[in-house]
Amino acid sequence: MTTYAHPLPTQSRRRRQQSVETLLQQIDDLRRRLYLAEVSGVTRAAVSDLKREMAALRRKLAAATEQAPAT
């Protein structure tokens, strides 16, 4: 027997979409900063904070998309 998830109310779905979009934008901005730092010759140790921040953002994104209901 197939069960279907109840659709989210429009406002809730929109908030989730905005949250995911914000996280994706933050990841993209940070990715650009990391690239520029590496191209500029910054040492690996100097970008470790940025890499930790990137990992944290990716975990947040994974958590946000994990909670998305199946359609």
Q: In this predicted model, what pLDDT tens digit does every residue of 50-65 receive, in sequence order?
A: 999 999 999 999 998 8
Residue entry with tokens 């929109």: 14
CA 15 to chain centre: 14
Hey, what are 45's tokens?
């140790």
**Mean pLDDT of all residues in 19-48:** 92
Q: What confidence score (pLDDT) does residue 38 get?
A: 87
Q: What confidence score (pLDDT) does residue 59 get?
A: 96
Report pTM: 0.74
Hey, what are 23's tokens?
């996280």
Nearest by Cα to 19 from 56, 52, 68, 70? 68
